Each structure stands twice: as C-alpha cells, then as structure tokens.
Amino acid sequence: MKQELWETVKKYYLNWWNNDFIGRIPFWVSAPKDNPRSQETLFGKHLWIHEKEKFNTEKIIKNAREILRATFYGGLAFPCFFPNFGTDVFSAYLGADMEFSDLFPPVATGPSFIKEDVISVSWAKWGNPVLTDYSNLSQLLINEDNPYWQKTREFIRYAAQLSQGEFFVGATDIHPSMDSLAVLRGSPQNLCLDLVENPQGVKEAMELLWKVWVRVYEETYYNLIKDQQEGTTAWINLWAPGKFYPVENDLSLMISTDMYQEFFLEELENEINYLDYSIYHLDGKDALHHLDMILDIPKLKAIQWVAGASESVAGVAKWIPLYKKIQAKGKAIIVYCNPDEVTLVIDSLKPEGLLISVNCETEKEAHELLKNYGWEGFYWWE
C-alpha cells in the first residue's frame, strides 16, 4: 500500500479505537485474487504443512507468504503472519503436551477461502495435568529450553526480517487465564471443581499466570518487532500504534458471572490495563451472560462478537440488538457480514466505532464493495 494511503488507514484505525467517526465507515475487505495461480494457492493443499514440519521456520513462512500474496486485502485490511501453534500454546510454554493435525494451512486467511481451516492446528492433550495440585506453583514458569517457546521467538524474528512492508507480523494466539489453567489442570471439569474446593489455590495460580502472560507478550512478540515494524497486530488482524492484543476467556461459559468476577476478572483487567489497545473476543452465546461486566471495564476499547458455527446461518440480523447494546456502552465493534448484509448493518448501527469486515467470494466483488463505500484504491499489492 502506498505510504499516503497507509497514513489514511492509520487515521481510521485510531478513530475506530477511540469510538469516533470521520466521514466514512471503515471496511476490512478480503477475497481470493482473480488469477489461476492464486486460486490454486488458496484452494489447493500443496502449501499445507505436515505435522512433522510444524517447527520448519523457513518452509512455514515461505508458504504463508504465498497464501498472503494470493489474497486481496482492501480498505483497512492488510496481510498478516503470526506463528500458529494452536490456541493452547501458552499452556505448552508451561509444559503442557500438544497434539497436531496431520495437515494444516500455514496461515489463516478467512473462512471464505480455506474451508478446511476449521481443522485445529493443535490442541492440548487433556487428562495429563501439568499442575496436579496447588501445593507447589513454582512450576508455573517458562523453561527457556521449551521448543514452543524457542520456535515462537524464532518464527517472529524470521518473519520480521522478511516482511519489510510486505506483510505485518502478529503475536501468536495466547490463551491465558481460565483457558490455560484448565489445560494445566488436565480438564475444565478439574478446574471447575477447584473453584469450589481450592479457591485460594486458583487465585494464587492466576497471579502467577498473569506474570507469565506479560513475559509471553513481551518476549515472544513485542520486544522482537517494536523496532522492525510500525505498530502491532495479532490473530485478529487489526492494527494499533502501541501494544495491542485480543483478550478473552473462552471457558468462561462454564461458570457464573460471580465466579468470573471473583477468580478471573482481575487478571483480565491487568491484561487490558497493560495494553494500549485491547478488544475482547466474546465467543458464543453461552458467554453472553458476562457481557455487562465486561462492558463496564473502562480501558477496554472494543468487542469482537463471534456467534459460533451453529448460529452462523441466522446471519447478522439476529445480533443487531447485541451490537446496539455494545455501542451504547461506548465500545467499538467489528461486524462480520456478507456483502448483501452491509446495507442492513449500516442502516441499523451507529457509524461511531463501527468496523465492517467482509470476506468476498471474488476480487471483483471486493473492488465493487470498496468503491461503493468510498474505499476505492485502498488495497495491498497489484
């Protein structure tokens, strides 16, 4: 993207983060590029990575670059690579065992492109607790020799050297808090019992996990890229000029709001207060009972609502009241929708703090959408 266009994009990101509106609604638009090579790259599997290659830095990033180059990014969208060892890699840094898919894409490009990306890259091996009880929490430390720790840092360093304005490098998918502690205890059920049977142990573990989270963010990402690229990004491909990361607690659907507040809210607020820009990943309708509490966190900038696969057929119309509720509390939102739902979104929601994200089926469709809403010419790569 030309520098003068990027300066405009940055301005729109800053206003979105601050829940403002400056003349046109920001759009995040992507699509497969309209040429045979790009189609084969995105819809074929010749660039996919085998489990035995999961630590092959050069091959994974080389293949990821090919997929990014085959994708059209328009409006506020941009190509991004982040090390993807799966959602439980934070727990793996602390010694949890991981299982990998036999074959997986080296970079996530969106549900409209790689249909099989619903296959997890990795997941924790449940039933094998690292933390057998709370009598000795000294093991909640990162071992410098841990291969996931070493390789995450290696991937970030290597990608940052290669990117040079071609793509952004984002932080890996970090699941701390309840998500991590459940893995370390061997199962969500074990952790839920701990909340009743050993509440003080859980609270002491959370204090240590918060310190680990800061170290993970700084030493596997921020300190490695702050002098290599402008700003930060992550698995939610947003841009921010300072420290940005999506915060979350996916397993919170299993507990009451009172328990969330007692055991996990402090760690969440610590993350948000540490970061310059944060967005809460609210995943699934079973987590909605925590929304009011989350919206009351002053420094939290935005909410990403993900309805889940079982609710996707309902479309965006079902969630308009939810988006209005979030907007009423002064938080920015991302609305994921199809091209034919854009008018409904614009007519129903306030423009302040609204970002519309659309995966188009074709590059032509993406260009038309951008032109219709004032973003013609804003895209990466020819």
pLDDT at 115: 53
pLDDT at 328: 98
Q: Are 173 and 86 in contact (CB under 8 A)?
A: yes
What class has domain 3-372?
alpha beta
C-alpha dihedral over 142, 208, 83, 51, to 10 degrees? 60
- pLDDT tens for the chain, residues 1 to 382: 788 999 999 999 999 999 999 999 999 999 999 999 999 999 999 999 999 999 999 999 999 999 999 999 999 999 999 999 989 999 999 999 999 999 998 986 554 455 554 456 888 889 989 999 999 999 899 999 999 999 999 999 999 999 988 999 999 999 999 999 999 999 999 999 999 999 999 999 999 999 999 999 999 999 999 999 999 999 999 999 999 999 999 999 999 999 999 999 999 999 999 999 999 999 999 999 999 999 999 999 999 999 976 666 668 999 999 999 999 999 999 999 999 999 999 999 999 999 999 999 999 999 999 999 999 999 997 5
Q: Are 316 and 345 in contact (CB under 8 A)?
A: yes
Among the listed residues 266, 238, 208, 285, the one whose alpha carbon sits nearest the alpha carbon of residue 82: 238
- Map out the domains of the chain as residue ranges: 3-372
d(CA 23, CA 12): 10
d(CA 303, CA 349): 14
Among the listed residues 218, 181, 219, the one whose alpha carbon sits nearest the alpha carbon of residue 199: 181
pLDDT at 117: 45
